[in-house]
A and B are shown apart, each in its own frame.
Chain A
Amino acid sequence: MLKAMFSRLGGLIVVLFIVSIVVFLLLYISGGDAALALLGNTATPEQVAAMRSSLGLDRPLMVQYGDWILGVFHGDLGQSFYRRESVVEVIFSRLEPTVSIAIVAQLVALCIAVPLGIASARRVNSTLDGIVTTYTMIGMATPGFVFALLLALVFAFQLQWFPLSGYSPLADGVGTWLRFIALPAISLGVVHSALLTRMTRSSMLDVLSQDFIRTARSKGASSLRIVYGHALKNAAIPIVTLVGVGFAVLVTGALVTETIFNVPGLGKLMVESIERRDIPVIQGVVLLATVTFIFINFVVDVLYLILDPRVRQSA
């Protein structure tokens, strides 16, 4: 079993290579390069050529890519074309807002989804269930940015309960920090909770109807014990999966919410860097995101193993 997992990990490293090549190629194929973005729109061709040379953009593609990969093995992700800082520094300085929002959003999603999912599973086809189902259907169809815009309009602009833009680091005070990330986190969290609620509900439903639950009930175990003792543990598997997937989704959702709320995080960094063809930064962030995603999946796989003996058996 462990052997299978490690071989999979090995395969994933190959995957990372492929991903990095894909990004590299894509952005070079696209029109425009970083030198132009830096020099403004009335620069002379000589200036542009000089800048390209100083950025190393005039070397052959293979050399540029090889250089970068070698650097990665030394923990050096290169230098941002745009900001002339090391990519590692740039990413590090924008990490906190995105992670803060992702964590709080995930908490918000769980706080909504788990109780709602359980409640509607226990009362299948009741009015509550109908309401919850409607909620999930609408929630899953609503793009994150629409909800974010709505929240911005009502709570930041009209009521002015929250600021419309910006970010305050945790070190500067928890209260202010929460104020600034509240709207982005809530918008992401609520939208994600729709899917999570649905998952919770169906997995609870699934488990509640299974034989061993009926057996426990017929043995006289109380509903409470059933829900928490047996059902939740088994329903936890897909929920754990979704929390794992959820992180990926949330980091992706960061792209739009950070743009709307002007949060200086990784999402906004990505959007800006793509616009400016700041390839080292894009590659660095993509690498980070992919590694995180793979790592989380790995953790989920492990948890899967621990929680579900059936999977262990079939592996």
Chain B
Amino acid sequence: MKIPGKKRKLLSCIGALAAATLLLVGCAPGSNESGENGESATLTTAVVQIPPMLDTAMTTYTPTGWLMRNVVEGLVTSDINYNVKPMLADSWNVADDGLSITFTLRQDVTFHNGDTMDADDVVASMQRWTELSALGQSAIPGAVWEATDDNTVVVVLQERNSVLLQMLASGGANIAAIYPQEIVEEYGTDPIDDFVGTGPYTLEEYKPDEFVKLKRFADYSNRTEPADGLAGDRTPTYDEIEFLQVSDNQTRFGGALTGQYDITLASPEDYSKIQDAPELEPILNWVGSLYLNYNKKEGAMADVAVRQAVNTAIGSEEIMNAFEPSPDLYEMRPGIMLRSQEEQWNSDADADSYNVNDPELAKQMLTKTDYANEPVTIMAQQNDRSAKAAIVIQQQLEAAGFSIELKVVDATTLLKQREDPQEWDILVYGLNSKLEPSAMAFFSPDFAGWTNDPTITQLLKDYRGAATYDEARAMYPQIIEAYAEYRAMTKVADWTDVIAVKTGLESAPVHDSQIVFWSVPLLD
């Protein structure tokens, strides 16, 4: 006997669900459009993470840099060939003894709050940057900034730094941003929360872990030179830029494929799919290189001969091939700077010891050392390409006679364990490129790896103390030679990040490790 009541209940449930589904599908607003009619053009960018701190002086996080360089600006910046170009300073003059630099500031630069920039703002901001930022501390410790008049600022250094301007021009980590004096005084050593800058965009809304919204600054004081890298004209094309955090790779890439985002930071795995998809184009962003970082303080790797043996066993091709879906995404070249920086920094002093790929020779070299088959710990970050590289590196080193223990840990644990020389012997890690070699993290004796070589120390001192920038540059080959002899690190290869953009946006310029967002063309 039928039970109409029960059946009715079942049917009504199904009916309700079906109706709801139809309703939802019918209400579909379609994919996110980016203002083609020129009314208010919004650029939607999906990123891996919205940084927790946007104060570029306090954090070394590169995403903070390339996000905030749309909002804040520094005294100088770099062009496409990494030459230093004016930004908020029109010109500068290095004293003969190199112990002071005089900056002539631009006039009539407007802050986002309407104030005009003057020397006091610069002095306050730069003093804070010098004291608080890692780059400031390593570049010009103890430096003092002074205003000599309304438009002139002098920095008095304790030691020469021939590459200071290169450091100040950084558009990535530790941007030396200029804020109004009141803001600097208000926040002091606390992270700044009120981002009043001079850049082409204002910070409209910021929710850590979710999004950042930028809005065109109507009264932006533009430079007149043509746009070149990060220098010159910065007239923004889009009225608004939204950065959305989408931490899951597939969800982010799926959003790119379904047209939800205009620009998407993708992962190398998606490269061929981007190439195949008619509505997407790839942009390659050369961010840095993959390195083997040696623990030179304690353990098996403290012996340079053992390091050289490891170096000899490493075959870059096999490693990169294991996880990079295409040779477009990496480049095997010696040295510690990128190809795009070749005009400034070029040397093949370590070409012979790069990508040697000779496990037999490595084995022989190893027998001549004191290495007694104790387990060597390779550490890598979970969920990162370096972990994949580490698996292959393990195999290569085992073929050369090493006994290897692979330790893969999450990002936060890695940062902590990295500081403890008992936790690892080799760290497989990607390092971001810098604008000049001495800024590379591994040259600092404090940085995990603990480089401690008198030759290198002296060379870097001379390099920084060189009379001119060009003289400093000429020392690059020597630095590389010393680096190779000491075997501070072993580079595997330079690598790229992959950015998926909607077709029509592929001419967006890339410089200093990220897209130059104010110059992204409009979609038509």
Contact = CB atoms under 8 A, between A and B. Distances in A.
Given A115-B13, A224-B5, A33 B412 contact: yes
Nearest to A111: B13
Contacts of A114: 9
A32 B208 contact: no
A265 to B, nearest CB: 11
Interface string B302-340: 000000000000000000000000000000000000000
Contacts of A41: 60-61, 415
B254 to A, nearest CB: 4
Interface stretch (B16-24, B158-166, B216-224, B365-373): B16-24
A173 to B, nearest CB: 8
Interface string A246-274: 00000000000001111010001100100
A84 B191 contact: yes
Contacts of A118: 6
A264 B16 CA distance: 27
Interface in B400-445: 409-417, 419, 441
B488 interface: no
A47 B134 contact: yes
Interface stretch (B70-78, B255-263, B341-349, B467-475): B255-263
A164 interface: yes
Contacts of A84: 191, 193
A314 interface: no
Given A42-B134, A44-B134, A272-B209, A32 B413 contact: yes
B270 to A, nearest CB: 13
B276 interface: no
Contact of B3 (A32, A40, A50, A227): A227
Interface stretch (B148-156, B245-253, B454-462): B245-253
A82 B52 contact: yes
Interface stretch (A17-25, A60-68, A152-160): A152-160
Interface in A25-58: 30-33, 36-47, 50, 54
B210 A40 contact: no
A165 interface: yes
Interface stretch (A3-11, A176-184, A194-202): A176-184
Contacts of B208: 82-83
A201 B16 CA distance: 23
Contacts, number: 157
A30 B419 CA distance: 15
A45 B413 contact: no
Interface residues of B, number: 62
A262 B412 contact: no
A223 B446 contact: no
A99 interface: no
Given A39-B60, A47-B134, A275 B17 contact: no
A43 B60 contact: yes
B52 A38 contact: yes
Of B6, B14, B255, B258, most A-chain CB atoms within 10 Å: B6
A255 to B, nearest CB: 13
Contacts of B61: 39-41
B137 A164 contact: no
Contact of B412 (A37, A50, A175): A37
Interface string A209-231: 00000000000000110011000
A259 B383 CA distance: 15
Interface stretch (B25-33, B93-101, B115-123, B496-504): B25-33
A297 B413 CA distance: 36
A86 B256 CA distance: 34
Contacts of B6: 115, 118-119, 122, 224, 227
Contacts of B416: 31-33, 36
Contacts of A139: none
B186 to A, nearest CB: 15
Given A44-B446, A164-B260, A165-B251, A176 B27 contact: yes
Interface in B46-81: 52-53, 58-62, 64
B254 A164 contact: yes
A44 B137 contact: yes
B265 interface: no
Given A262-B246, A272-B209, A160 B258 contact: yes
A238 interface: no
Given A164-B258, A179-B28, A259-B248, A37 B17 contact: no
Given A30-B413, A164-B260, A262-B246, A223 B60 contact: no
B452 to A, nearest CB: 16
Nearest to B52: A82
B358 to A, nearest CB: 32
A262 B247 contact: yes
A112 interface: yes
Given A32-B416, A179-B24, A40 B251 contact: no
Interface of B: 1, 3, 5-6, 9-10, 13-14, 16-17, 20-21, 23-25, 27-29, 52-53, 58-62, 64, 132, 134, 137-138, 173, 189-191, 193, 208-210, 244, 246-248, 251-252, 254-255, 257-258, 260, 409-417, 419, 441, 446-447
Given A119-B6, A162-B24, A260-B251, 19 more contacts: A31-B412, A31-B416, A32-B414, A38-B52, A39-B53, A40-B61, A40-B173, A114-B9, A156-B254, A157-B258, A165-B246, A165-B254, A179-B28, A223-B1, A224-B3, A227-B5, A259-B247, A262-B251, A276-B412
18 contacts: A33-B412, A36-B416, A42-B173, A42-B441, A54-B190, A111-B14, A115-B9, A119-B6, A122-B6, A160-B258, A165-B254, A175-B27, A178-B23, A182-B21, A262-B247, A264-B209, A276-B52, A277-B412
Interface of A: 30-33, 36-47, 50, 54, 82-84, 108, 111-112, 114-116, 118-119, 122, 152, 156-157, 160-166, 175-176, 178-179, 182, 223-224, 227-228, 259-262, 264, 268-269, 272, 275-277
Which 3 A-B residue pairings sit nearest by Cβ, starting from the closest? Answer: A32-B412, A40-B61, A115-B10
